[in-house]
Amino acid sequence: MKDALTGPALGGVGERWASFPKEDLYSWIRNSQGLIKAGHPRATELWNQFKPTVMTAFPNLSNDEIESILLYVDGVYKGTYGPKVAAGPSGAAASNAGQESGFSFWLYLIFVLLIVIALFLWNLMSDLDFQLKRKAGDTTAVRTSIWKLLTSKAIVTFIIFALVLFGGYTTVNNAISLGRQQNYAPDQPIKFSHATHAGLHKIDCNYCHDGARRSKQSIIPATNTCMNCHAAIKKGSKYGTAEITKIYASIGFNPNTDKYIENYESLSESEIEAIYKKWIGDNYVKDNKLGSATQGSQQETDSQWNMIKESLTSDTKSAIPGAIEWKRIHNLPDHVYFNHSQHVTIGKIACQQCHGKVEEMQVVKQYAPLSMGWCINCHRQTDVKFADNKYYDSYKTYHDEIKSGQRQSVKVSDIGGLDCQKCHY
């Protein structure tokens, strides 16, 4: 938007073309090569600057459509239009949480109050009892102390019983949840934000996780998938060079020259370091308008590089080049077979149903419990898209029953969704 990349920056296009008729800009966008051939001065200037990269021609765009695009570009550039930071939902969640804790606070308060009242009442009763006995002439009578009450058989029995009950309850609960990790949200080697990519920029989930629609695995995207965009977008809005450089260091892309590095795997660590430190340092200098490298820029570069190195290496991987080792969040046991394509392509289930609102997550967490009960429940409740797929034609009985009105819908459980060997084999 703001920087010239493979072509001129989009922002400010109107001003730059202001000295020419609007029609010229339209025809430039529709077919840049045509305008260059016609010898338009601005077109020739741009061509000399950016050739041989050719801007894609869009002969189908009408003037109105181009005007809308330009308006949008201008709006985003000037900040008058475009998505705002999604403050709403998280704010709501926070207040929601406040409410919840307020609610339990009142519960605790009532509980404490009740105990106080109980003690008070008991005190009153024992006092009265004591007075009554005194009155009856029992001189040996003493006031029962609190301690005596607490060590009384009934109370001790009750406490032991409560402890056993509580202990058993927690043990069983913990045993059931053993190995489950709902809400697990580890720090990843790259501070990749789904909120930015899927939320703000509305990139389809299937673009990166392209296995979800056709394979068992949804697939963690390969580094080259990142490069589809990040060959051009070289700095992040939040972390600048700190995070995106990790992609480059993984695959061996030199952002200084916009070229992939030959024989990247065979470079020494210091050679790799030099390439990326130059990139980080230059950008720091440029962004802070320092003119030349300073101690501050050196420090910043070193610290960023150390972070990058730490993220890309591990106990099992000593070299910087190579795959990014993400932490796996959704772990199913080995004896469970789960197929994404069955659910995404055939079942047409939205990703969010199991993964939550990933497009709002800065750090991804495990949304669903991924427990067998959770799976089974869904299989019990979900209707099969029975009429949409010819595969289900062979289920003649059910089709007949639907036709005759005997049956409203076919649940997943009706076609074997609860069978053990649906998922375990």
Partner 1 sequence: MKKQMKQSETTFWIDDQDLTRDPEFLAKVESELSPVAIESILTDERAGVFETNRRDFLKVLGFGIGAATLASCEIPVKKAIPYVIKPDTIVPGIANYYASSYVNGGDYCSVLVKTREGRPIKIEGNASSAITNGGTNARVQAAVLSLYDYNRIKQPSKNNQGQLTASDWKTIDEEIKAALGSGGKIRILSSTMMSPTALKAVSEFTTKFPGAKHVMYDAVSSSALLDAAQQCFGERMIPDYRFDLADTIVSFNADFLGTWISPIEYAGQYAKRRRIHMDSVSMSHHIQIESHMSLSGSNADNRILVKPSEQSSAIAQLYNEVSSKTGGATISVSGVNDKAKSAISKVAESLLNQKGKSLVICGNNNLGDQILVFAINNLLNNIGSTVQFDRASNQRKGSDADLNQLMTDMKSSNVDALIIWNANPCYDTPFAADFGQAMANVKTKISLNTTLDETSMLCNYICPDHHNLESWGDVEAKRGSFSFIQPTINPIFNTRQVPHSLLVWCDSKNLNTTAEQPYYEYLKKCWQDKHGELKLSPSDFQTFWDENIHNGVFEMPAASKSVAFKGDVNMAAGKLTKPSNAPVEIAFFEPVAVGGGMYASNPWLQEMPDPVTRCSWGNYLAVPISFDGDRRFISFNNIKENGEEVELTISGNKTKIGAIKQFGQMAGTVAIALGYGRRNAGDCGTGIGTDFNSSCKWVDGYIQYFNTEVEVSNSLGSIEKHFACVQHHHTMGVTSIEKSTGKKFNADEAALVDDAFKGLTKGYQGSLTDRSVIRHSHLNEVKEKVELLKEERKDHQKLNSYTLYPSHDYKYNAGHHWGMHIDLNSCIGCGTCTIACMAENNVPVVGKKEVSRHHEMSWLRIDRYYYGDVENPNVVYQPMMCQHCNNAPCENVCPVNATNHSQEGLNQMAYNRCVGTRYCANNCPYKVRRFNWYDYTTADLFPMNQYNLAAEKTQPFYSDNLVRMVLNPDVTVRSRGVIEKCSFCVQRIQEGKLTAKKEDRTLSDNDVKTACQTACPTNAITFGDMNNKEGNLFRKLENPLNYIVLEEINAKSVVNYTMKVNNRNENLDA
- According to the binding rule CB under 8 A, does residue 376 interact with partner 1? no
CA contacts within 13 A on the Cβ side of 165: 6
- According to the binding rule CB under 8 A, does residue 250 interact with partner 1? yes
* Closer to partner 1 by Cβ: residue 15 or 187: 187
Per-residue CA distances from 287 to 109, 243, 284, 302, 305 (Å): 55, 16, 5, 17, 17
* Sites for partner 1 among residues 293-322 (CB under 8 A): 321-322
* Sites for partner 1 among residues 202-241 (CB under 8 A): 210-211, 214-217, 219-225
CA 127-132-137 angle, to 5 degrees, is 125
How far apart are the C-alpha atoms of 219 and 221, rounded to whole Å?
A: 6
How far apart are the C-alpha atoms of 386 and 80, rounded to whole Å?
A: 47
Per-residue CA distances from 423 to 18, 260, 340, 342, 351 (Å): 64, 43, 12, 12, 19
- According to the binding rule CB under 8 A, does residue 134 interact with partner 1? no
Q: Quick one: DSSP state of residue 344?
A: I
Least distance CB 141 / partner 1 (angstroms): 52
Which x/- pattern, by CB under 8 A, does the window 169-188 give for partner 1? -----x---xx-x--x-x--
* Closer to partner 1 by Cβ: residue 148 or 327: 327
Least distance CB 249 / partner 1 (angstroms): 11
- According to the binding rule CB under 8 A, does residue 22 interact with partner 1? no
CA Rg value for the chain: 34
Tell how far CA 59 is from the center of its chain.
38
- According to the binding rule CB under 8 A, does residue 325 interact with partner 1? yes
* Closer to partner 1 by Cβ: residue 78 or 424: 424
What is the identity of the amino acid at 108?
Y
Which x/- pattern, by CB under 8 A, does the window 394-423 give for partner 1? xxxxx---------------xxx--xxxx-
3-state secondary structure of 158: helix
Question: Out of 2, 135, 153, 328, which residue is the one contacting partner 1 (CB under 8 A)?
Answer: 328
Least distance CB 89 / partner 1 (angstroms): 27
Which residues neighbour 247 within 8 Å (Cβ) at sequence distance 6 or greater? Answer: 190, 223, 226, 227, 230, 253, 324
Least distance CB 242 / partner 1 (angstroms): 20
Q: Which residues bind partner 1 (CB under 8 A)?
A: 174, 178-179, 181, 184, 186, 210-211, 214-217, 219-225, 250-251, 321-328, 331, 333-335, 337, 339, 341-342, 345-346, 389-391, 393-398, 414-416, 419-422, 424-425
